């Protein structure tokens, strides 16, 4: 039964498979070669050859390229203070970062991530999304939904809900795969001299 199912999947024409592969990666830049292997029912070597022919880099390189493009936009934090890799940033609107849990982030006995690392990723993203040279966290209402384990990748997505004179409200959701593991509501103070009651005063805002 298993052989018949795999044979059916592998009969997808190469050109069609590559089109579907490209769309799958566009829809989810964090998808791994292993996940694509299961999705298309082909070997990992086939997936890698498909990516090579399509000019699509491997996961780590994709994340690195997206991060390099996004870091240039961050005004409120120096690069070394950002926790995780910011791979998408729309200032005063939204942002995405990815953070892989490694040995130094977990409790040695349980291999569960220390909570302050999960918080730090969300907090630094909430600050980085603010289009201001001065932005500081004033308060945070946070909720840890489940433990994050060694080797898991945390994808944090932030949304700027309101921006007023001197304050911004930012909501952050952190996921492992498609499962919500953390949620936070942040109040960010920013420089009042760059904003007015009617909105943003800088000429360089889109």
pLDDT tens, the chain, 206 aa long: 444 444 444 468 888 998 899 888 887 777 888 889 988 889 889 998 999 888 888 877 777 666 665 555 566 666 667 888 888 888 899 999 999 999 999 999 999 999 999 999 999 999 999 988 888 999 999 999 999 999 999 999 999 999 988 899 999 999 998 899 999 999 999 985 544 433 444 333 33
8 Å CB contact between 184 and 172: yes
Which SS3 state, helix, strand or coil, does residue 107 take? Answer: coil
How far apart CA 190 and CA 179 sit, in angstroms, is 32
Predicted pLDDT at 165 = 84
- Extract the tokens encoding 66: 């997206």
How far apart CA 103 and CA 109 sit, in angstroms, is 11
8 Å CB contact between 60 and 44: no
- Please state the φ and ψ torsions of residue 124, each to the nearest 5 degrees: -70, -35
Pick the CATH number of 2-56 from 3.65.10.10, 1.10.1740.10, 1.10.10.10, 1.10.540.10: 1.10.10.10
**Nearest 10 degrees: CA dihedral of 23, 29, 33, 35?**
-80
| Per-residue exposure over 162-200, b if at least 16 CB sit within 10 Å of its own CB, e if not | ebeeeebebbbbbbbeeeebbebebbbbbeeebbeeeeb
- Extract the tokens encoding 131: 């289009």
**Can you name the residues that pair with 184 across neighbouring β-strands?**
142, 172
Predicted pLDDT at 27 = 78
Predicted pLDDT at 200 = 42
How far apart CA 192 and CA 166 sit, in angstroms, is 5
Question: Domains of the chain: which residue ranges?
Answer: 2-56, 75-200
Which SS3 state, helix, strand or coil, does residue 134 take? Answer: coil
- Extract the tokens encoding 147: 């433990």
Q: How far is CA 158 from CA 14, 15, 138, 164, 203, in A?
A: 37, 36, 17, 17, 24
Q: Is-above-0.85 flag for pTM?
A: no
Picking from 24, 30, 61, the residue whose alpha carbon sits closest to that of residue 42 is: 24
Domain 75-200 in this protein, CATH class: alpha beta
The count of other CB atoms within 10 Å of the CB of residue 204 is 7
């Amino acid at each position: 039964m298993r052989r018949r199912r795999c044979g059916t999947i592998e009969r997808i024409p190469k050109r069609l498979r590559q089109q579907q592969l490209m769309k799958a990666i566009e829809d989810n830049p964090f998808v791994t070669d292993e996940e694509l292997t299961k999705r298309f029912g082909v070997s990992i070597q086939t997936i890698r050859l498909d990516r090579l022919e399509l000019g699509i880099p491997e996961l780590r390189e994709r994340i690195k390229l997206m991060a390099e493009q996004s870091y240039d936009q961050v005004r409120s934090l120096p690069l070394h203070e950002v926790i995780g890799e910011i791979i998408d940033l729309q200032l005063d609107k939204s942002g995405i970062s990815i953070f892989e849990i490694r040995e130094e982030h977990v409790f040695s006995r349980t291999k569960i991530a220390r909570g302050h690392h999960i918080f730090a990723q969300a907090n630094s993203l909430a600050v980085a999304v603010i289009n201001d040279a001065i932005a500081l966290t004033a308060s945070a209402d946070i909720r840890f939904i489940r433990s994050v384990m060694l080797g898991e990748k945390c994808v944090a997505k932030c949304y700027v809900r309101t921006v007023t004179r001197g304050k911004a409200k930012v909501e952050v959701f952190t996921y492992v795969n498609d499962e919500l593991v953390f949620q936070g509501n942040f109040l960010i103070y920013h420089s009042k001299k760059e904003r007015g009651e009617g909105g943003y005063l800088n000429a360089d805002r889109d």
